[in-house]
Homo-oligomer: A and B are copies of this chain.
Amino acid sequence: MDTGKAGPGTRRSGAAGEVWLRPSARRGRGAPPLSRDRIVEEAVALLDAEGADRLTMRRLAERLDTGSTTLYWHVKTKDDVLDLALDAIFAEVGIPPKGGQGWRAGITVLINGWRAVLLRHPWSAALLSRPMLGPNVLARSEFLYATLLEAGVVEPHLTAAAYGLSNYVIGSGLMQATWPTSAEQDVRRAAREHLRANRERYPALATYGPLVAEGDWDAGFALGLTWLLDGIQAGIAGAGDAAGGAVRA
């Protein structure tokens, strides 16, 4: 594990003329100078590779070939790094072209892309408990609101729709990222057996529950999304009170 760690003076002090043999940057060829962007990029890589609780200022600095304290010139705190990393991956969520398809299609593409990103970076689920106000997140929220407005959705349906859709993806991403992955077969099996052993207490779960049925995440997600979109659509047509009397909690 510690193999790559140069002893004191090995690289930093530099033997006579050794400067010319070095490609001017610290690390191998072409490592750009340290910058906020590079720190965030490396943070995402570290998070992808090892998960949220392995992200340490010292370990991050090591990957960037600096001391941990150097990072604090470019970034104010570790929390900043997390905020920036979270916003960075949102850039991967494609924003559908403006007028292309109907509002349902546009929103479906956005939401599915959003979900895909959450699943591709499972650590992000745990970070969603911080306010998301970065430019990439805002750009996607803007698309969502704009599309709904253009479709004719008005308050109180507008807020409910935007929140409902967002909450649904976030919850789904969190749930699925959380769930014992197939890599943890032992945990899955243990959980399943736990349910079956207590089948008199959890009869429905033991037979139909998620750990048993191994339901199709994607199909389930799509179905729930349809329900939300249907509800939103119904609210557009008869703006009055298509939702019945259930609106007030």
Q: Which residues of A contact B (CB under 8 A)?
A: 112, 125-126, 128-131, 133, 138-139, 141-142, 145-146, 149, 155-164, 166-172, 174-175, 177-180, 187, 191, 194-195, 201-205, 208-210, 213, 215-216, 218-228, 230-232, 234, 243-244, 246-249
Contacts and interface: CB of A to CB of B under 8 A. Distances in A.
Contact of A232 (B195, B202, B227): B227
A215 B159 contact: yes
Given A223-B160, A223-B164, A149 B204 contact: yes
Nearest to A115: B249
Given A203-B142, A213-B155, A163 B247 contact: no
Which of A146, A159, A195, A215 has the most chain B CB atoms inside 10 A of its CB? A159
A146 to B, nearest CB: 4
B244 A226 contact: yes
A21 B164 CA distance: 60
- Copies of this protein in the complex: 2
18 contacts: A126-B126, A129-B177, A131-B178, A138-B202, A141-B202, A145-B205, A145-B208, A146-B203, A158-B208, A164-B168, A166-B171, A168-B224, A171-B172, A219-B247, A222-B246, A227-B231, A230-B230, A231-B231
Given A158-B208, A175-B163, A129 B131 contact: no
Given A167-B170, A174-B174, A228-B231, 10 more contacts: A133-B191, A138-B201, A141-B202, A146-B204, A159-B216, A160-B221, A164-B224, A218-B249, A222-B247, A227-B243
Contacts of A156: 215-216, 219-220, 223
A104 to B, nearest CB: 9
